[in-house]
Structure 1
């Protein structure tokens, strides 16, 4: 809990992809693709990371507060500004439409996003997937266009309610496994799920309820426990919270590590 400054410095100083002449490859970045049920905190997670790294409250990824329907309709890549204007961190995040009970994002669209075939601006259609002749279909994706880490986002208070959607999410996970893409999960809204954690975020790893939800998610999706990170996104806060940011930075650091390993392995093949 006292190492927030170290984690923050590690993320801010992250400079991967050194070329042979020691110049950074400005075109290469780690792409993190977020997926999961509607209303579980994908957009809020992006905003929270943006807030932490920029040092001020942000809200670029529009997040809805009314459940039932996905607020995210368009495929969007979020870059995070670093220091001077026009420079960005070497990692980006993609937000997509969420899964819903009878509609929501098509599994095939998630697969195509993982493979780099989806261009920014594509409007998701629950009734049909992106066609190969669509102007938003990227015919020849580069390594940079592809997803390097797949992250499942699930609310801690709703894991047990996702039995029908888990089938869809398992299919997405299998597709990612076939592509060799590393995977992890974040368990959001831990404060809403457990009064003990709501009273003090530092109780998160002491909470039997949070542990049980992590185990349930692990059993349902097959993601190892050490790849599931319980977090709280910024929601009602208007001032920084060090404990909240520490949990987010732990998850972000793992995403970066997984993504860097995947990209390096791709470059070696």
Structure 2
């Protein structure tokens, strides 16, 4: 076993002990909640969830994973790339998930270019702010060096409540929390503060938990026993200023050919909280 893998294995197995009461897994209950969900605000047909975070953290993969859970099979509509640390997503794109042949679930994910270190790399923070306000239309190709102009045909001058973001979700790789640069963290913090000014609820998703902890790779249920993952969540909480109960560890589907209950459960747990947060926002504007 390579030294770096051995080190990671030792770190995780030694610290993988029960840290709280036994967690009850509510896959069927959460799945039913998602299937029954409907925004009470009649101005909103689809609750809009904006995913942002470092390039390669798993934003597009999370969209695919939610789609996989709800379709009951592994899907891959949102294109991903595993060979680069640069953002593979270049344009603003909204993903709706089929509920039936001609119907969709009443929520949608907005996927954008990832945050990267340094000026002129990754999505502009100002573009994320404009996206939250509903000013950026689907199909806009992000320019890392400049913000979208009001003269751009993809600029939405008069966004409706439906166009605006109702939940902001920061997506971060579980094993890179302690290695994120100050510049990247500063950008994510700026986005968070802007969302706070708009009253938009914010959550975070910690992805690739199986790669961060071998015990979780062996059994996803060990996610609630891992002190290492707990430490990463606490570190993210301190850095971004998010409450720990707003941070959800998730394993995305990436190498599997079939769905399974354990992976479905952690994804549904995060999705349920996302929908609840967005529902509160659109009802108390």
TM bucket (normalised to shorter chain) is over 0.9
The alignment status of 1:105 with 2:128, answered yes or no, reads no
Which 10-residue stretch deviates more, 156-165 or 211-220? Answer: 156-165
The alignment status of 1:137 with 2:137, answered yes or no, reads no
Describe the SS at the equivalent of 2:65.
Answer: helix
- Partners of 2:127 and 2:276 in 1: how far apart? 26
| Corresponding residue of 2:63 | 46
The alignment status of 1:172 with 2:195, answered yes or no, reads no
| Corresponding residue of 1:15 | 38
| Corresponding residue of 1:22 | none
| Corresponding residue of 1:194 | 213
Structure 2 matches for 1:216-235, cutoff 5 A? 216-235=235-254
- Partners of 2:170 and 2:272 in 1: how far apart? 16
Size of the alignment, in residue pairs? 259
Task: Measure how far apart 1:67 and its partner are.
Answer: 2.5
Is the contact made by 1:48 and 1:233 (CA closer than 8 Å) also made in structure 2? yes
Task: Measure how far apart 1:100 and its partner are.
Answer: 1.2
- Partners of 1:2 and 1:229 in 2: how far apart? 14
| Corresponding residue of 1:238 | 257
- Partners of 1:201 and 1:56 in 2: how far apart? 18
Task: Measure how far apart 1:18 and its partner are.
Answer: 6.1
Is the contact made by 1:17 and 1:28 (CA closer than 8 Å) also made in structure 2? no
| Corresponding residue of 1:120 | 138
Is the contact made by 2:74 and 2:256 (CA closer than 8 Å) also made in structure 1? no
The alignment status of 1:89 with 2:112, answered yes or no, reads no
Q: Which has the higher contact order (CA 8 A, sep 6+)?
A: 2
| Corresponding residue of 1:158 | 176
Describe the SS at the equivalent of 1:53.
Answer: helix
| Corresponding residue of 2:9 | none
- Partners of 2:176 and 2:188 in 1: how far apart? 14
- Partners of 1:71 and 1:2 in 2: how far apart? 34
| Corresponding residue of 1:252 | 271
- Partners of 1:34 and 1:225 in 2: how far apart? 18
Is the contact made by 2:117 and 2:181 (CA closer than 8 Å) also made in structure 1? no
- Partners of 2:55 and 2:277 in 1: how far apart? 25
Is the contact made by 2:213 and 2:229 (CA closer than 8 Å) also made in structure 1? yes
What is the TM-score when the length of structure 2 is the normalising length?
0.89
What is the TM-score when the length of structure 1 is the normalising length?
0.94
CA RMSD, 1 decimal: 1.1
Is the contact made by 1:98 and 1:105 (CA closer than 8 Å) also made in structure 2? yes
Task: Measure how far apart 1:161 and its partner are.
Answer: 1.1
Describe the SS at the equivalent of 1:144.
Answer: coil
- Partners of 1:185 and 1:163 in 2: how far apart? 18
- Partners of 1:2 and 1:196 in 2: how far apart? 18
Task: Measure how far apart 1:2 and its partner are.
Answer: 4.2
- Partners of 2:139 and 2:115 in 1: how far apart? 19
| Corresponding residue of 1:70 | 87
